[in-house]
């Protein structure tokens, strides 16, 4: 895809599909660094949209926080909920394009933009979706293999199983308190297991989670939503009860679900 450059003062803007990406603070990098980061963002958004469909927002602001000392390409990142939603990326200013491409963080944060802002008790859905989809996007685009896809999901589930032994509160309650309790492993990966189970159930109907989210993004996504309203919309779009049935099982569960490698290999 041809990159359309419009670099003005402290930002650079280019379009991917119908999204105008505006990168703030790009000029704090060297010329080579600017090209590397802009190309990485361009390619990552294209890969994400190839899996999940076009983002409906017309502008995507990205706020760079380049670091001089970092042990990974993207040590930290977050979604900035606003109008429009944007991303804040703390990056290693010296990372190579190949290192950025192999890092999961940007795919994770971009996935968040396909869902509305949910209440804290529903963050297990938000983080679970992003944790699952980062791997789906990377697998779909050839960044990782099917075997690596299964291995990464299974490793996340193992970490969650281990943490569940000491974090046994109902999932929705733990979700709203996960930062204080440092319970991200259980919250993120139990949520990911929810979407794995949903994807497997949708397969039986000739659908996929990605196809349902494409429809949701195109017709129904709002800036904010309750968890129940979001789940009901997905059922309506899939003409099923897959999501409400699973939500009833997961929202207050205190254990970790049984998801096997054999099931993951079917995805």
Q: Domain residues of the chain, as ranges?
A: 6-104, 120-264
The H or E element containing residue 193 is helix 184-203
What was the pLDDT predicted at 7?
A: 45
What was the pLDDT predicted at 5?
A: 37
Task: Report percent pLDDT > 90 for the chain.
Answer: 93
Mark out the alpha helices in 53-183 (DSSP H runs).
97-102, 105-112, 123-140, 146-164, 171-175, 178-181
What was the pLDDT predicted at 15?
A: 52
Helix-, strand-, coil-residue percentages of the chain, each rounded to 5: 55, 15, 30
Tokens of 43: 């390619």
* Contact predicate 243/228, CB 8 Å: no
pLDDT digits (tens), the chain, 267 positions: 333 333 433 456 555 567 999 999 999 999 999 999 999 999 999 999 999 999 999 999 999 999 999 999 999 999 999 999 999 999 999 999 999 999 999 999 999 999 999 999 999 999 999 999 999 999 999 999 999 999 999 999 999 999 999 999 999 999 999 999 999 999 999 999 999 999 999 999 999 999 999 999 999 999 999 999 999 999 999 999 999 999 999 999 999 999 999 999 999
Contacts of 56 (CB under 8 A, 6+ apart): 217, 218, 221
pTM: 0.93
Looking at domain 6-104, its CATH architecture is: 2-Layer Sandwich (3.30)
The H or E element containing residue 34 is helix 31-52
Q: Which fold has domain 120-264?
A: Neutral Protease; domain 2 (1.10.390)
What was the pLDDT predicted at 209?
A: 98
User: In 3D, which of 176, 171, 211 has the Cα closest to residue 193?
Assistant: 171
The H or E element containing residue 86 is strand 86-92
What was the pLDDT predicted at 17?
A: 61
């Amino acid at each position: 895809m041809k990159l359309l450059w419009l670099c003005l003062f402290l930002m650079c803007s280019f379009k991917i599909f119908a999204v105008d990406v505006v990168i703030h603070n790009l000029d704090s990098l060297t010329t080579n660094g600017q090209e590397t980061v802009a190309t990485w963002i361009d390619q990552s958004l294209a890969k994400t949209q190839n899996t999940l469909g076009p983002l409906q927002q017309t502008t995507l602001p990205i706020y760079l926080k380049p670091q001089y000392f970092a042990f990974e390409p993207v040590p930290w990142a977050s979604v900035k909920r606003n109008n429009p939603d944007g991303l804040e990326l703390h990056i290693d200013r010296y990372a190579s394009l190949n290192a950025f491409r192999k890092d999961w963080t940007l795919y994770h944060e971009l996935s968040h933009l396909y869902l509305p802002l949910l209440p804290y008790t529903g963050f297990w859905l938000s983080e679970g979706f992003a944790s699952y989809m980062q791997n789906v996007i990377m697998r779909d685009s050839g960044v990782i293999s099917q075997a690596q896809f299964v291995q990464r999901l299974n490793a996340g589930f193992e970490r969650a199983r281990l943490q569940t032994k000491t974090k046994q509160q109902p999932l929705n309650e733990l979700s709203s308190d996960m930062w204080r309790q440092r319970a991200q492993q259980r919250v993120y990966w139990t949520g990911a297991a929810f979407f794995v189970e949903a994807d497997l159930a949708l397969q039986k109907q000739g659908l996929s989670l990605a196809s349902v989210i494409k429809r949701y993004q195109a017709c129904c996504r709002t800036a904010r939503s309750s968890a129940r309203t979001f789940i009901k919309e997905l059922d309506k779009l899939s003409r099923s009860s897959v999501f409400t049935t699973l939500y009833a099982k997961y929202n207050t569960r205190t254990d970790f679900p049984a998801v096997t490698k054999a099931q993951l290999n079917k995805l």
